[in-house]
């Protein structure tokens, strides 16, 4: 799998969320890969991947904060934006303290997401 700073990895267990994000991001010219679970993403993960992960906090198999910890342990170069449908302020603070570029509440405002992705892809 070839990646670059404009590659976005969507990790969310809800197919409708992945589909909506994929459509938006492809229209904006991003390369998009989707994963329905933390396990699927971490199993596929390659150390040379570049880009940004849109990571759901509330994954059923492993929460987003634990995935973020795994990526940090692996010295991942991926930028990370955490997403949540529950607006958990404590989790938001933990994610940002651990290096997330942003914590966005679902439903995600497309313009806000694109602004964060522009900054993330510049840093990737």
Report yes or no on 35 lying in a domain: yes
How many domains are there within the chain? 1
Report yes or no on 118 lying in a domain: yes
State the residue range of the domain holding 43.
7-123
**Band of residue 86 on the pLDDT scale cut at 50, 70, 90:** confident
Strand bridging mode 7-11 / 52-56 = parallel
Report yes or no on 1 lying in a domain: no
CATH number at residue 44: 3.40.50.2300
Burial of 80 (0-12, 13-18, 19+ CB in 10 A): buried
Per residue in 20-68, pLDDT tens?
A: 999 999 999 999 999 999 999 999 999 999 999 999 999 999 999 999 9
Reported pTM: 0.96
Report yes or no on 2 lying in a domain: no
């Amino acid at each position: 799998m070839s990646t670059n700073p404009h590659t976005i990895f969507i990790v969310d267990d809800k197919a409708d969320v992945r589909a909506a994000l994929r459509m938006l991001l492809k229209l904006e010219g991003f390369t998009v890969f989707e994963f329905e679970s933390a396990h699927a993403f971490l199993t596929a993960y390659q150390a040379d991947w570049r880009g940004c992960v849109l990571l759901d906090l509330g994954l059923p198999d492993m929460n987003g904060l634990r995935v973020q910890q795994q990526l940090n342990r692996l010295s991942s170069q991926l930028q990370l934006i955490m997403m949540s449908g529950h607006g958990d302020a404590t989790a938001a603070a933990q994610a940002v303290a651990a290096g997330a570029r942003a914590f966005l509440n679902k439903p995600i405002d497309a313009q806000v997401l694109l602004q964060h992705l522009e900054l993330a892809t510049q840093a990737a």
